[in-house]
């Protein structure tokens, strides 16, 4: 299966993507995780991404799209993948479609984790304490939520129009949410 998981920062995308990808035996591809690994490793890509991440802004499309194209060309992604945190704007969605179309394939579904703003902020502040992520400070959290509603949320409508969207209630226990995602994918 070729899947995308979309939802605001703090919706629990990473947790669910990890579980669902393992269940489906497909790679979990998180652009945020790849960027963080590159920042930690001090690579050229990390240097390019770091300032945007710390400000809660999107890393430029040219950088992000090239990274995803490389990742999707790896052998483990040939039979399926679960993209977590990509695409994040219309331009990236169009590039992804093109990348897949070149290989004669397309997405099977886009799962939206639907979570209210208050739950999201509470989760992000909790994660800030537990994980100490550099972009989980209050100002940056606010900016990331704005970026989500301005740039990423419109994708939900885009994928709905394309008949790919499966909206899932993202509030509840980890197990319940996983079960909802699995059920939504089966429908
Ligand atoms: P995440 O872990 O998905 O919340 O991503 C953390 C940060 O990485 C984001 O706030 C962006 O700065 C950057 N990032 C992750 N995915 C993308 C993407 N698809 N496009 C641009 N920037 C991204």
Q: Per the residue annotation, which of 2, 36, 123, 144 is the catalytic one?
A: 144
127 is catalytic: yes
pLDDT value of position 137: 84
Q: Domain of residue 31: give its range.
A: 2-186
CB within 8 Å of 138: residues ≥ 6 apart: 125
**Which of 139 and 52 is assigned the larger pLDDT?**
52
For position 158, which CATH number holds? 3.40.50.300
* pLDDT tens digit sequence for 75-114: 999 999 999 999 999 999 999 999 999 999 999 999 999 9
Q: Are strands 109-114 and 2-6 parallel, antiparallel or unpaired?
A: parallel
Tell which atom from ligand 1 comes closest to the C-alpha of 68: 19
Strand ranges (DSSP E) for 32-108? Answer: 81-84
HSE of 128 in the Cβ direction (CA atoms, 13 Å)?
Answer: 15
Predicted TM-score (pTM) of this structure: 0.95
Residue 166 CA to ligand 1 centre (angstroms): 22
At 104-123, the pLDDT tens digits run: 999 999 999 999 988 898 88
* 20, 108 Cβ separation under 8 angstroms: no
Question: What domain count does the chain have?
Answer: 1
């Amino acid at each position: 299966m070729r899947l995308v998981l979309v939802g605001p920062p703090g919706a629990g995308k990473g947790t669910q993507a990890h579980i669902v990808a393992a269940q489906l035996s497909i790679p979990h591809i998180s652009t945020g995780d790849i960027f963080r690994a590159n920042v930690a490793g001090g690579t050229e890509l990390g240097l390019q991404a770091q300032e945007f991440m710390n400000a809660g802004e999107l890393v430029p499309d040219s950088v992000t799209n090239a990274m995803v194209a490389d990742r999707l060309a790896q052998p483990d992604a040939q039979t399926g993948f679960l993209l977590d945190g990509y695409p994040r704007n219309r331009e990236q969605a169009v590039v992804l479609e093109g990348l897949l179309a070149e290989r004669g394939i397309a997405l099977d579904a886009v799962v939206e984790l639907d979570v209210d703003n208050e739950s999201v902020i509470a989760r992000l502040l909790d994660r800030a304490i537990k994980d100490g992520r550099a972009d989980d400070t209050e100002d940056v959290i606010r900016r990331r939520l704005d970026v989500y509603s301005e740039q990423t949320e419109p994708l939900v409508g885009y994928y709905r129009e394309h008949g790919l969207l499966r909206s899932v209630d993202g509030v509840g226990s980890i197990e319940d949410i996983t079960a909802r995602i699995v059920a939504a994918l089966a429908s």
